[in-house]
Amino acid sequence: MAVTKVLITGATGYIGGSVLATLLTSINPKIRGISISALVRKQEQAAILKENGVNGIIFSGLDDTDFVRKVASDHDFVINTANAFHFRAAEAIILGLADRKKQTGKDVYLIHTSGTSSLGDFPITGSYTETRVLSDKDDIYTYLRHREDLEPYQQRTTDLVVFEKGEAASIKTYILMSPTIYGLGSGLFNRTSIQIDAIMRAARRDGFTSVIGSGAAEWDHVHVEDLVQLYELVLARLLDGDNLPSNKKGIYFNETGHHSWRYLSERISRDGNALGYLTSDEVREVSLKEWITRSRKALSPRTVELGFASRSRTRADLARELGWKPTKTEKDFKDSFMDEWKVIAKEG
């Protein structure tokens, strides 16, 4: 019987590395029987993966869509945890999986990683406001299509490519759309989060913690350990042959709690000061423009507002019906900032 081949993109990152570590230590017999490959950019990364039983495939990056397509065509599953804003790479993966399906005559699957900034509103500029808590049992595809028609956003564009191109190619797709992810990862390379770390690094740079506007808007959060259990669960169910909701009905939220941006900055500031990494626990309200100017990066105001100031609330009803049972509590969320700070401080 042919071995099921699984490709992971983004395996050197926070989410992908943690997903890979979880699959490598899984006790599920079906998962233990798969062959895992990972796309990486460096020979030394491939060597480390080989030591851990993973086939590291070196490539120049996601822009080489021809190569991405070719590699995807050699696999039955792709778990895409790389850049969620790279819609051309997502399309290349789908085309590669379609090639695989033609070769084997068997179903192929894409488990794609996205984030809930695709659902976020614009409370600072006021151009679009949202008060609903969205469930993953709602018609999220239609909602995303409506939002994209109003104003394109690359991560949302990628979501829609996965929905639409996947369906057109008869590829079964599943989007795991995550809120703020916290906690230290378990991967072999990067082990720290994205949004929380960005605010911490900015605080170290500026000498104070910022919040855009009042910071009243709320997001959800999930511990990385709970999140990767959902990836494992989805993969295990598919390996068992279960017919899970897919394509335009195949979006899975994964919240376990929620916070305001003000609370996030206050917690970062307080714990950073307590550990001696900040000289005070000041939280300073800044404008969207000032936040971008201080970052010294070429970031669009819309992207920053969606990623660090918007309101985005979700409910993981479908994920829980699938059997997802997160274990982390609000105490885990509150306690995580100290550990995160210690890692950030080591960067110098």
Domain boundaries, the chain: 5-192+220-257+311-326
Fold of 5-192+220-257+311-326: Rossmann fold (3.40.50)
pLDDT lower than 50: segments of the chain:
none
The span from the CA of 308 to the CA of 198, in Å, is 10
The span from the CA of 207 to the CA of 228, in Å, is 34
Residue 1: per-residue pLDDT: 66
Q: Three-state SS for 124?
A: coil
Residue 2: per-residue pLDDT: 87
For residue 75, CA distances in Å to 19, 99, 161 come to 17, 10, 20
pLDDT in tens, 260-304: 999 999 999 999 999 999 999 999 999 999 999 999 888 899 999
**Is 260 in contact with 267 (CB distance < 8 Å)?**
no
The span from the CA of 96 to the CA of 132, in Å, is 37
Structure-token pair, residue 82: 């790389």
- φ/ψ (deg, to 5) at 258: -145, 165
